[in-house]
């Protein structure tokens, strides 16, 4: 494939499992796609595809005759965010689950659209500026959270001006008497969940040391962990589930697993959170393990804080392979717990759920781990849909941005494709920088300066009240406006 200018990074985890496949196809011969067994023989018949098309037509006709658009007011809104979950990622997950003709659960939602992902100052977005868009309805600068484009990154006082702060849909829900919560497999102070409650000029300011390290005064520039515990939106979140204990405790303090914190101001924010709730005579529980979560009476809990790792939670596939599922909860388990707590409010709730490690696996070219986390993310969506009613609960599933994983070749998604020009096989899934490599690289002079391109659009899937709003192609910043209109909250009520 060298003549096609594609740079392929082989996926180590799969090479070990595919070694026998390399031996079966000696160098100098192409892989024969026809040699792979047909999983569903009926697919070889014309009538099979005709019948599937007829079934789809009949279902669409039935929908048109018996159903009208759901215009009920959404009591509850759940936003599922697959970090880095590109369309290719969903497609590859579908294949990993068994068959390309099947669906990832949320692909069966009745309405699908595309959102445009970019920052004010960059065409290719990150998780920080996109969080401001899909949670607050305003696009900001790369690396900033909860502030508009007037605030440059690293500005020590950038979040101080109220007119530059962007309020999230969580705040809109709280102001309307609803409860709000967040679930993530990342640190709860990471870029995406921070968009629920924080205003900061740098996504890395998760603790006071990071603020000081950038030359700002932590007493004036409040770090993200403190904002979660001390500022109004974070204080009122009924459910906070994820990782990141390190940002809540001092360097001189070890967490429940013996790992030190990163704070240098002496604060113990977990204790501070508990003291606040007890002083207000609220029922509050802090848990740090899957076992501890299972012991909580969720039906009688006002506030729930769960920090299940010093940093991020493990990849879901690693939970299974290392039997760490005994210690670490899955995303679907966390989602179930959150809904049980939030459902106590008769006025309804807003819940943000992030499958964060989909993107992290992509960054490290761990394709299998990324797809496994996407599969678990889909199970969490299914759990939420099963626990709620389509009549009163809007569920929106999307991604903050896409990723560079591409699908090449023809056989099974976890296998190897045909031989390249060097007579070596390449993986079906690869991380490629495209056809510009040889034109952008000179061996004598090194790499040429590359110009930025537009970030990929990402898919949006919706089910429930006003799900029809989410079809078509639109700005990512439109998403919270559409959700708020469905729920009758915030500036778009």
Per the annotation, where are the binding residues?
Answer: 83, 190, 192, 354, 359, 363, 400-401
Please, which residues bridge with residue 242 across strands? 307
Calpha distance 455→291 (Å, rounded): 41
Q: Which secondary structure element, helix H or strand E, spans residue 113, and what is its range?
A: strand 111-116
Confirm whether 168 is a catalytic residue.
no
Annotated binding site for Zn(2+): 83, 359, 363, 400-401
3-state secondary structure of 385: helix
Annotated binding site for Mg(2+): 83, 190, 192, 354
Calpha distance 430→432 (Å, rounded): 6
Calpha distance 487→349 (Å, rounded): 10
Calpha distance 181→131 (Å, rounded): 15
Phi/psi of residue 249, nearest 5 degrees: -130, 160
Residue with tokens 């110009």: 451
Question: Using H for helix, E for strand and C for coil, what is the string for 449-484?
Answer: CCCCCCCCCEEEEEECCCHHHHCEEEEHHHHHHHHH
Catalytic member of 86, 115, 127, 430: 127
Calpha distance 329→315 (Å, rounded): 11
3-state secondary structure of 116: strand
Calpha distance 449→463 (Å, rounded): 44
Dihedral in degrees, nearest 10, Cα atoms 454, 6, 85, 313: -120
Question: Using H for helix, E for strand and C for coil, what is the string for 153-191?
Answer: CCCCCCCCCHHHECCCHHHHHHHCCCEEEEEEEEECCCH
Calpha distance 462→387 (Å, rounded): 16
Calpha distance 64→73 (Å, rounded): 21
Question: With left for phi above 0 and alpha for psi between -120 and 50, is residue 32 left, alpha or beta?
Answer: beta
Q: Which secondary structure element, helix H or strand E, spans residue 399, and what is its range?
A: strand 393-399
Are 126 and 143 spatial neighbours (Cβ–Cβ below 8 Å)?
yes
Closest by CA to 105, choosing from 376, 299, 327, 306, is: 376
Residue with tokens 């049980």: 340
Phi/psi of residue 322, nearest 5 degrees: -100, 10
Phi/psi of residue 316, nearest 5 degrees: -65, -40
Calpha distance 362→404 (Å, rounded): 8
Phi/psi of residue 382, nearest 5 degrees: -60, -40
Active site residue ranges: 127
């Amino acid at each position: 494939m060298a003549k096609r200018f594609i740079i392929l990074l082989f996926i180590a985890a799969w090479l070990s499992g595919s070694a026998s496949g390399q031996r079966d196809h000696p160098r100098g011969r192409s892989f024969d796609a026809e040699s792979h067994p047909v999983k569903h023989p009926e697919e070889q018949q014309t009538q099979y595809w005709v019948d599937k098309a007829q079934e789809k037509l009949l279902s669409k006709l039935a929908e048109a005759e018996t159903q009208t658009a759901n215009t009920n007011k959404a009591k509850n809104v759940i936003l599922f965010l697959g970090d880095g979950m590109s369309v290719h990622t969903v497609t590859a997950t579908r294949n990993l689950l068994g068959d390309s003709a099947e669906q990832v659960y949320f692909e069966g939602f009745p309405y699908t659209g595309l959102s445009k992902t970019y920052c004010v100052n960059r065409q290719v977005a990150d998780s920080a500026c996109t969080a401001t868009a899909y949670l607050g309805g305003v696009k900001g600068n790369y690396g900033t959270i909860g502030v508009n484009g007037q605030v440059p990154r690293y500005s020590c006082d950038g979040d101080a001006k109220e007119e530059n702060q962007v309020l999230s849909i969580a705040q809109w829900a709280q102001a309307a008497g609803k409860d709000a919560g967040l679930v993530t497999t990342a640190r709860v102070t990471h870029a995406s969940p921070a968009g629920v409650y924080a205003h900061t000029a740098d996504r890395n300011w998760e603790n006071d040391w990071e603020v000081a390290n950038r030359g700002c005064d932590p007493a004036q520039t409040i770090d993200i962990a403190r904002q979660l515990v001390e500022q109004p939106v974070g204080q009122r979140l009924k459910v906070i589930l994820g990782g990141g204990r390190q940002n809540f405790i001092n360097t001189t303090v070890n967490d429940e697993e013996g790992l030190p914190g990163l704070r240098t101001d002496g604060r113990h924010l977990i204790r501070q959170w508990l003291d606040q709730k007890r002083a207000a005579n609220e029922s509050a529980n802090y848990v740090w393990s899957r076992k501890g979560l299972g012991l909580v009476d969720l039906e009688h809990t006002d506030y729930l804080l769960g920090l299940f790792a010093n940093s991020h939670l493990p990849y879901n596939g690693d939970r299974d392979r290392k039997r760490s599922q005994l210690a670490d909860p899955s995303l679907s388990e966390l989602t179930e717990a959150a809904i049980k707590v939030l459902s106590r409010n008769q006025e309804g709730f807003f819940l943000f759920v992030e499958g964060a490690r989909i993107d992290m696996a992509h960054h490290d070219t761990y394709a299998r781990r990324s797809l496994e986390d996407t599969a678990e993310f889909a199970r969490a969506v299914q759990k939420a849909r099963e626990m709620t009613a389509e009549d009163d609960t809007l569920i929106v599933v999307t991604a903050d941005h896409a990723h560079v994983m591409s699908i090449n070749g023809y056989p099974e998604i976890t296998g190897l494709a045909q031989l390249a020009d060097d007579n070596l096989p390449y993986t079906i899934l690869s991380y490629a920088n495209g056809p510009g490599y040889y034109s952008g690289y000179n061996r004598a002079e090194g790499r040429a300066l590359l110009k930025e391109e537009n970030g990929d659009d990402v898919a949006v899937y919706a089910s429930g009240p006003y799900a029809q709003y989410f079809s078509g192609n639109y700005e990512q910043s439109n998403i919270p406006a559409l959700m708020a209109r469905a729920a009758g909250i915030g500036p778009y009520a």
